[in-house]
Amino acid sequence: MRRILLTTVKILISAALLYLALRKVNLSDLASRFGIASVGWICLAIVVVFLQIFAGALRWREISAECGAPLTPVQAMRFNMIGAFFNQTLPSSIGGDAVRLWLLARKGAGWRAATYSVFVERAIGLIALAVIIVATLPWSYRLVDDPHGRSALLLLDFAALAGGVGFLVLGRLNWPWLKRWWGTHHLYACSGIANRVMFSRSHEPKLAVLSLLIHILAVAMAWCVAQSIAAPVSFGQMFQLIPPVMLITMMPISIAGWGVREATMGLAFGYAGLPANEGVNVSLLFGAMYFIVGGFGGLVWIFSAEKAAQDSVAIHVPE
C-alpha cells in the first residue's frame, strides 16, 4: 500500500509540474522548428547519450571491482543499457539503479557487493557534479542576475558538496560504533570504498576523468538538442545551467525526472535572462533523447539471458 501511495504521489508531481511547464510552450511552434539539419543534431545527441552510458559503465566497473563484484566492459555496458530502459519505466529517476543492482547480484556478486557498488557509483557521480557546479560558480553568478536564483544555486550546490564531503569524511573516522550500529555500518563501508577508489593511484585518474566526462557529455547532449531547434543559447551557458538542473532532477520525486526537469530548466533559463519556454523546449527534447536510448536498452533487456532465465523460472513455478 505504501509503495502504491508513493508511486501515485510521484505520478501526480510529474503530471502537475509538466502541466505548469507546458503552459509556457507552443508545441506546434516547437514542431515547426525541426528541419533537415535538426535530424543530424538529434542523431548526434543520441550518439552522445550512448557515449555517456558507456563512460558510466567504465566508471561502475572500476568501483564494482573494488567492491568484490568484478564486471567486464561488455557486462557493465549491457547492465547500464538495461538500467537506462528501466529509468524510463520505473517511477523514479533511480529505478534503473535498482535493476543494475539486481542484475549484478544475480551474476553471482552477492547483494551486499552489488548494492555497495551502485551506491558508491551514485555518490561519486553526485560529488563530481557538485564540484563542477562550484568550479563554474564565478561564471554562473555573472549569468544569473536574479538574487533568488543566485541564492538557490548557492544553497543547492553547497548542500550537495557538504553531503559529499560528509560522506567521504565518515569513512575516515575511527569510531568503533560506526562499524557496529545497524544505521551506519553499511554507509560507513560504502564511504570506505569511495575513499579507496577516489584517492588511490590506480583508480583516481580514471574516476576523475570519467566522472567529469559523464557530466560534460550530458551538457553536450543538451546543447545538441538546443541546436536542433536553433534555441538562442550557447554551449557555455548550457555548461553553467545544466549541472544544477541535473542535480535537482536526481531527487527521486517524479517519474524519470519528468516534470521536475522541465520546471527547473524553465526556471534556470528565466533566471539567466533566457526565454523560459526555450528551457522547457530543451528539457523536453533532453528527456526524449534518454527515452529513445532507453528503448534500445529495452531491446537489450528483452533479448538478455537474465530476462530469459526469469521467464523460465516464471513458467516452471507451479500454480
CA distance 180 to 171: 14
Give the pLDDT confidence of 270-297 residue by residue, as tens digits.
888 888 899 999 999 999 999 999 999 9
Least confident of 3-17, 22-36, 46-60, 240-254: 3-17
Does pLDDT of 38 surpass 60? yes
Report the pLDDT averaged over residues 85-98: 73
Terminal Cα-to-Cα distance of the chain (whole angstroms)? 25
Give me the sign of the Cα torsion angle 214, 215, 219, 225: positive
What average pLDDT is seen over the chain? Answer: 86
Residue with cell 561564471: 139
User: Is residue 62 within 8 Å of residue 206, measured between CB atoms?
Assistant: yes
Three cell numbers written together for 96: 534503473
Single out the residue of 227, 240, 239, 288 nearest to residue 262, CA to CA.
288
Report the pLDDT averaged over residues 180-193: 89
Which residues touch 318 (CB under 8 Å, ≥6 apart)? none
CA distance 63 to 129: 17
Element (H, E) at 118: helix 111-135
> Is the whole model's pTM more than 0.85, yes or no?
yes
Single out the residue of 215, 226, 165 nearest to residue 194, CA to CA.
165
Three cell numbers written together for 105: 547480484
Three cell numbers written together for 131: 564540484
CA distance 51 to 182: 39
Give the pLDDT confidence of 4-36 residue by residue, as tens digits.
676 677 778 778 877 777 777 887 888 888 888
C-alpha dihedral, 91 to 76 to 79 to 46, nearest 10°? 70
